[in-house]
Structure 1
């Protein structure tokens, strides 16, 4: 990805897109170039921006991410982006660690675009990232958000209790697996272990309040069983989170239909400005 001088809104490059919005290249605080796209709200207002954080092996151009952005655009402007190592973004995936810097760059862009409120909606790996970002606390250097939605999030690291997660760990930790990730999943994965191990989602959740938090999980999630959302909600404390256990729902953005996404948009409209 080539880079150019920064534009007036702090991006490296901005250009129109075929989707009716415009794309940008954002620079993270650790120097990674991240592809992003903005599409304004259907009504054209700059009240609420929804920053969408995809799951592992996703990207802003994937159909499921496009579908989510299209539905959420009915409730506010939408910023999508590809995490490092995904799509046309630079760098290598750290599977939820340094990705908080990618999300923070996208949140900062939404603020510079003039939105009064900014909410984050994350799926799977992206859900763990929005929780860690919102729970980073004062002094972290992370931009504040006005609401957080975590869909299909893990609660803790290194979970291997399901077959899909055992396969994912093989992809991430083994040289042959990372080759599969690069060529099969179009995802470039960092080969180094976490050092230090970042704060887990369940350790981050207690620091999110008073920011409104919604935890969404399916009872047919093949990756993370229901003890994950239940422990996240418990960590938030009484009144600290809304919890939706969705009957028949599978995992992340690929399983999220328009009805569920619309309910999330309605929750953001109702709760996104209340602290």
Structure 2
């Protein structure tokens, strides 16, 4: 390791969630089960911002993906932004459990936001990440507001062609090879032993402001999914966005800006 590289790495702290730095803007977190999680921090453009937004990407996303970086830049207009790669994605360790143990990854990112000096932390998740932010808020808490974008309401849904393809990727050996090579996503070959609480049941347990956002052109999950989430959480807010497709890849800048404004105003 050359001198420049050494100067960018600090000795790991032994406390549970405190990271060691990979660069001034990136760190390696450790989830509660010991999995290493690659995370990045984007400072707020407003010097007096007091809120941190932790962004949970969709399946096959990662810190390096342009769509996630674009979303982070929009959120940074109002808040500090933490992005991270779920286990099995990008430069994080481990294998994807497709929404189950990913809650621990989000916990680590929320904890890191607090070590950066933000007392108020909110979360926004896209697709699989939307399911994870719902489950994390319901089961572990510690966040002031939640936005779930393009999230499923229930597991094992195969009512659309894209979801049938995704199930093939996750459930079949050849599909997992395609996931690893084509999608850069390493998937756990073991099925869930205990089925995680479904997102719709988690939504009913969320006791902080909740925003559900979905596109009427979503090719993965039809509108009964967001409507089910809304019905489960009567105090939540539901936005059905005309022409919007699926998750961070399709989210227009004006929608990201409105989600950011909602999160920071409800924190």
TM-score by length of 1: 0.91
Equivalences for residues 1-275 of structure 1 within 5 A: 5-6=12-13, 10-16=17-23, 22-136=25-139, 142-209=140-207, 211-237=208-234, 240-272=235-267
Distance 1:177 1:232 in 2: 30
Tell me, what secondary structure is at the counterpart of 2:107? Answer: helix
Cα distance per residue 1:190-247 (max 9 Å; x no partner): 00010100000001111102x000000000000000000000000002xx20100000
Kept in 1: contact 2:38–2:91 (CA 8 A): yes
Kept in 2: contact 1:217–1:226 (CA 8 A): yes
Tell me, what secondary structure is at the counterpart of 1:135? Answer: helix
Kept in 2: contact 1:218–1:245 (CA 8 A): yes
Distance 1:90 1:206 in 2: 31
Distance 1:4 1:127 in 2: 33
> Root-mean-square deviation (CA), in Å?
1.6
Kept in 2: contact 1:220–1:249 (CA 8 A): yes
Kept in 1: contact 2:10–2:21 (CA 8 A): no
Tell me, what secondary structure is at the counterpart of 2:113? Answer: helix
Where structure 2 has 5 or more consecutive residues not aligned to the other structure, the ranges are: 1-8
Kept in 2: contact 1:9–1:109 (CA 8 A): no
TM-score by length of 2: 0.94
Cα distance per residue 1:8-58 (max 9 Å; x no partner): 8943421335xxxx1110000000000001111002335100000000000
Distance 2:41 2:12 in 1: 20
* 1:257 positional shift: 1.1
Number of aligned residues: 259
Distance 2:118 2:137 in 1: 18
Closer/same/farther in 2, CA of residues 7 and 41 from structure 1, 3 Å limit: farther
- Point out the more displaced range, 89-98 or 113-122: 113-122
Kept in 1: contact 2:17–2:31 (CA 8 A): no
